[in-house]
Amino acid sequence: MTKQAKEYVSEVRAEILDEVDVVVAGGGTAGVVAALAAARNGADVMLIERGACLGGMLTTGNAGLTMYTKFSGPPELRIKDQEDLKNNPEDIQIVGGIVKEITEKLLKSGIGIGNEGTFGRYVFTSPEEFKCMLFQMMTEAGVKLRLHSMVTDVIREDDCIKGIILESKSGRQMIPAKQFIDATGDGDVAFRAGAEYTVGLTEQDVCAKHGKIGEMQNVGVMFRVGNVDLEQVFAYLEENPDNYIAQHFAQFTLAEAKERFQNNEMATINILTDGTPGRFQVYNLPTPGVVTLCCPQIKGIDGCNVEHITRSEIIMADMLERWMKNIKKNPGFESSFLVQVPEMGIRETRHIQGDYVLGLMDIYEQKDFEDCIGFGSHPIDTRPRPEWLNDPETSYPPRWYFQIPFRTLIVKDIDNLLVAGRCLSATHEAFGCIRPTVQCMIIGEAAGTAAAMCVNDNKSIRQLEYKSLRNTLIKQGVKC
């Protein structure tokens, strides 16, 4: 089901700011990379963020950076992955460019931890130091920042956006620009510009008849807990190995997870426990004694409905109180306490309709695209899904990954707007493979680079040649 934003005309008094080349709305996972890419390619860039810092889910949401590597499939290949990660990482890593640069900065500085001295599937970070690093990178690139500012309206003439309206403590302001990038996650700029979009499961999804039309992925949080004795946790699990469950994508054995923890590398463990939750997932962090736990979920929440979001925050607070009471009963967690609980993590809302809609079979069958701008490797995790996809160990070809086409970033019927991140043009089923943080960053680099190229060459988005964009991305180190 395709929706259209209601057309409306509003006359507002607003201070008009100096025009820039590129406006990036949203300073989260995709937006920070889009802004850096645009600025480094010579554009005058303004990055707008509603919060007090940059990074989104990477800094305020406690999420790790994922997915960096091809998806293994069978257990015996995962063992080979670890060997190649140590000796031949380029054989299985699917990222480069700014994403690789940021990740290597995190690992080198100790702000992030990976595996085998590099990045495997995941990298987890110390979020406060990551915030500082992103500010420094923006300053070095010459990106103009406007924090504590929310996009509330769009000025559109025919097929072009002329400017966006912001609300902040400074009042109402309008920023004119040549090119715009919507990295808000929910497609707020595109929505206000009248773009078409879909929400959740639609009739176009392969498994539409097996699910509820409009249903979206659950919301949830990843929360940080302090004063955890992981040495004691591993000692307990070694004595009670039946209470250890290998993490689905990392698939570390208990011995491997302990070795990685002792080497100050990323180690993921799932602990089986009595009560609620019946199991909980733990990610170690660079900060000793602090871990990230993942992740209570709530069904039936619309992330673009403020009443729904408010209700979900209240439900989550109660849920975490009950979770923590039972988690503290586990060895190593007896004296633990909540360090930080982020605002609700929204996985899925609007899918803005683009010049191409990426579908489940495009991804699963690894379709080749002449306008490929990067890769993804997250297995299809939306439900319902085809029976032949139920077992990740047997459903995917060895070292599976897929291509992301540039046309999914180009907003239908608008000539100077790109979307970056999870709101790009994809079906509900395909979206589940696009939403991981690393893939949002990859998309951000392509969007920022394309916007700057259009400004430099005085072209519209659709006049930009795919080959020229890909050549530029490849020069920047992007794998595409």
Q: What per-residue confidence (pLDDT) applies to 8?
A: 46
Residue whose C-alpha is closest to residue 187's, from 304, 350, 33, 29: 350
Residues of the chain with pLDDT under 50: 1, 5-6, 8-9
SS3 at position 197: strand
pTM, two decimal places: 0.95
Measured between alpha carbons, how far is 81 from 251 in angstroms, rounded to an integer?
A: 11
Q: What per-residue confidence (pLDDT) applies to 251?
A: 63
**Measured at the alpha carbon of residue 93, what is the angle toward residues 92 and 98, in degrees to the nearest 5?**
170
Contacts of 287 (CB under 8 A, 6+ apart): 126
End-to-end CA distance of the chain: 32
Measured between alpha carbons, how far is 277 from 290 in angstroms, rounded to an integer?
A: 20
Q: What per-residue confidence (pLDDT) applies to 249?
A: 56
Asked whether 112 and 65 are in contact (CB, 8 A), the reply is yes
Measured between alpha carbons, how far is 307 from 303 in angstroms, rounded to an integer?
A: 9
Domain chopping of the chain, boundaries:
1-214+347-480, 219-340
**Measured at the alpha carbon of residue 22, what is the angle toward residues 146 and 104, in degrees to the nearest 5?**
75
Helices (H), 304-415: 306-327, 360-364, 392-395
Concatenate the DSSP letters of all residues of 22-33 into one string: EEEE--SHHHHH
Residue whose C-alpha is closest to residue 351's, from 449, 267, 435, 428: 428
**Cis ω before 277 (30° cut-off from 0):** yes
- Alpha carbon separation from 256 to 108, 118, 122, 126, 268 (Å, rounded): 22, 16, 15, 23, 10
Q: Which residues pair with 113 in a beta bridge?
A: 124
Residue whose C-alpha is closest to residue 369's, from 469, 440, 459, 437: 469
- Alpha carbon separation from 169 to 53, 143, 173, 264 (Å, rounded): 16, 21, 10, 43
Asked whether 424 and 359 are in contact (CB, 8 A), the reply is no
SS3 at position 319: helix
Indicate the fold that domain 1-214+347-480 takes in CATH.
FAD/NAD(P)-binding domain (3.50.50)
Measured between alpha carbons, how far is 230 from 78 in angstroms, rounded to an integer?
A: 25
Burial of 87 (0-12, 13-18, 19+ CB in 10 A): exposed
**Cis ω before 67 (30° cut-off from 0):** yes
Tokens describing residue 206: 């392969």
CA-CA-CA-CA dihedral for 42, 43, 48, 54, to nearest 10: -10
CA-CA-CA-CA dihedral for 144, 146, 150, 156, to nearest 10: -30
Contacts of 89 (CB under 8 A, 6+ apart): 116, 118
Residue in the structure block whose two tokens are 């990298």? 123
Asked whether 386 and 365 are in contact (CB, 8 A), the reply is no
A 10 A CB-CB count for 324 gives 16
A 10 A CB-CB count for 329 gives 11
The length of the chain, given as a count of residues: 480
| H/E run at residue 214 | none
